[in-house]
Every structure is written in structure tokens, then in C-alpha cells.
Amino acid sequence: MKISLEDLPYIATGAAFLGTGGGGDPYIGRMLATSAIEEFGSPELVGVESLADDANVYTIAMLGAPTVLVEKGACGDDIDLALARLQEYTGRRADAVIPIEIGGVNSLVPVMAAARTGLPLVDADGMGRAFPEIQMVTYNVHGVSCTPLVVTDEHLNSLVVNTGSAKRAEDLVRVCAVEMGCSVMLSSYLMTGRQVKDSAVTGTMTLALEIGRAIAAGRKAGDPVAALLSALRATPYYNHCKVIFDGKVSDLQRDTRGGFSVGLCDLVALDGSEASLQLTFQNEHLVARQGDVVRAIVPDLICVVDRETAEPIPVEGLKYGQRVKVLGVSAPPILRTPAALQVFGPAAFGLDDIFQPIESL
């Protein structure tokens, strides 16, 4: 299918929901993709099965603090340069682009890249949600090297990075991103079509579109959160889902530290009960606790939405007094394997809790 201008608001909303608090502001993502499609035309969205096993597939993403991207944007030339520099360095001509994660910006930056370059966009990603660090990707879990990778900024400065591990690349790229103004474009995890088929979370661009459409339809019908839950239950991955809290934001600690948005968000119930919930986040929500009880935990998705409109609220959009519903949603099975949990399970974020699937909580 072609991605049309009309699809973009739905993709942005659905992706922001699956971004679980991170992955960027959907308004920014939509604006970036809209201007690219208006100038260069609609890109083709293709399934992983259509990729030749020896195709060269390039990831493209924004990396940095989402709080900064709101003001800084992306110029497009930085995207072109990242892809061009990595092709030039490796000598492998790009056959397609693919997202590294799902999020309000990072699902739309690849749309922008595909529109600008004329390359097809693969309907898949490496998380089925968003995560804050470069090594936290199914591509890495399945042995794809994240380097050589290229970082570019809006002044068209660029870096080609080669490291022995994805975590080392993360540490280096993070300090560079801070020095380059806290948000950069990143092309990494250059893969073959075969590697995409073996390691990606498939169909997630289409799922984001469907989730976004369901929310919009639910608004017309009068219960967008119920429509959202129905849509999730119809997906192959996100089918275990529930509202784990209905309340308002009573306290918020949010810092931009080490290139991340980190903090805590406290919620209290609206029904007059003593119930409360605390969310811990690093760009994305990591754990939701009610007192000592874990209600949902990474890599499962913890998503905060406006309680009336089901509009996803990113961590940088959280505000005191906001009335919200918090949803717990099952992660795709490829994210719950022992090997995957080592890379982005609770311990990878310094949490002492063990992973428990949302359906068991």
C-alpha cells in the first residue's frame, strides 16, 4: 500500500500509543511526514515477505531527548545524509528503510525518509513499542550488529561509529547527541532482508494505523478507550490489555538527564478511594506500581491516555491535574524470550523486579 497524507494522523496517534510514553511527539512526527509527502509523494509500505533475502535494509530514527525535539525538529537533509553516509561507508546500496522502534516521531521519520529517497518502507520495526537505548532492539537480540552506524545533526555534521558492542555504541552516541544539541538522526543496524525476517516485529506500521483509526472511530461513537481496547484485542501481539488505573496526575518529577527524560509520575483515583499509582519512566514508562504491587512492567507496554479522548500522552506531555487512563498491554512474544529480557527486561533498567506478563497480573 501507499501511505497517504490521510493515513498520517492515524499512524502518528497509534504509534504514539504503542510508544508507551516515548518515541516522540506525534504532532511533530505528523508534521515532518506531511511535509515530506507533500514535497516528494507517498512512499510504498511493503511487508517483510516481499524483501529479497539479500536486500540491504537501513534503519533510520531520531535519537535524543524528546523534550528537545519538540523545539528542534528535523530538516530532512540530516536524514538523507545519514543514509547516504552509511551507504558510502559500507558500499551497500539501500533497497528499503525500516523503523527501529514504534513511536510518535520514530514511526514517522522512516516515512519521511522513504518519501525523500523513493525507497520502500518495511512494515515492521525492532521493538513493537519504543525503548530508550540503542541496544534495546530485537535486531540486537538476534545478533545483528548495530555498527557501523551514522549519526548526523541539522548542521550536517556526521559521525561514523564502529564499536565492539551495541551498549558501547549507545554510550558514545549518547554523549555525541548531547554535544550535538540533544537530538540527532541515527542510521544503524544495517540488515539483510533475511535478518529482517528473522528478527523484526512485523506488521507494526499497519497496526499503528489500525489503532489510530480505532481511537478516531471510538471518539465518534462516544467511547474511544473501549474502541482502543477492542482494536488491541484484535491484534496478534497486543491482545492482552486492560485499564490498570483511572485517575489524575498528582505529582510529577521529570528531569532531562544524561540525554534522557527520566522521572516519576504519581496518580490518584478519581472515585474518592485512596488508590494511587506510580509510574517510573526513562523516556518510556518502565513500571507501574500500586504501593508495593507491580501492575505492569517492561517490556510490556504501559500507556497513558486522556481519559475522555484516548489521546496518547507522551512523558513530556504529562501535567499536574491531567485526567488519564493507564493501560497495561502485552508486548509481542519476541520481546518476552529470555534472551530478549536480558536486553530490555526490568534488570536492564536497574529494576529489581522480575518480569511478569500483564495477563498474569
Instruction: Write out the H or E segment, with its range, that includes residue 288.
Output: strand 284-290
User: What cell was used for 348?
Assistant: 536492564
| Contact pick of 179, 223, 308, 359 for a second copy (by CB under 8 A) | 179
- Judged by CB, which is closer to a second copy: 42, or 163? 163
Binding string, residues 153-172; x marks residues near a second copy by CB under 8 A: --xxxxxxxxxx---x--xx
Shortest distance, position 260 Cβ to a second copy, whole Å: 16
134 binds a second copy (CB under 8 A): no
Q: Are 14 and 305 in contact (CB under 8 A)?
A: no
197 vs 124: CA distance, rounded Å: 9
Question: Total residues at the site for a second copy (CB under 8 A)?
Answer: 20
Shortest distance, position 89 Cβ to a second copy, whole Å: 7
27 binds a second copy (CB under 8 A): no
Cβ of 294: how many Cβ atoms within 10 Å? 16
Q: Phi and psi (nearest 5°) for 76?
A: 95, -50
- Judged by CB, which is closer to a second copy: 47, or 181? 181
Question: Given the rule CB under 8 A, which of 33-41, 60-68, 176-184, 325-333 is the region that contacts a second copy?
Answer: 176-184
77 binds a second copy (CB under 8 A): no
Residues of this chain, 180-199, that bind a second copy according to CB under 8 A? 180
- Judged by CB, which is closer to a second copy: 149, or 262? 149
Residue with cell 536480558: 342
- Judged by CB, which is closer to a second copy: 40, or 89? 89
- Judged by CB, which is closer to a second copy: 85, or 325? 85
First to last CA, the chain: 38
- Judged by CB, which is closer to a second copy: 79, or 159? 159
Residue with cell 516481499: 50
Calculate ∠ Cα 282-319-329, nearest 5°: 50
- Judged by CB, which is closer to a second copy: 163, or 356? 163
310 vs 325: CA distance, rounded Å: 8
56 vs 206: CA distance, rounded Å: 22
| Contact pick of 5, 52, 175, 234 for a second copy (by CB under 8 A) | 175
Q: Are 211 and 159 in contact (CB under 8 A)?
A: no
User: What cell was used for 58?
Assistant: 537501513
Q: Are 324 and 306 in contact (CB under 8 A)?
A: yes
83 binds a second copy (CB under 8 A): no
Cβ of 109: how many Cβ atoms within 10 Å? 26
Question: Given the rule CB under 8 A, which of 99-107, 175-183, 196-204, 347-355 is the region that contacts a second copy?
Answer: 175-183
Residues of this chain, 84-123, that bind a second copy according to CB under 8 A? 85, 89
Q: Where do contacts with a second copy occur on this chain (CB under 8 A)?
A: 85, 89, 155-164, 168, 171-172, 175-176, 178-180
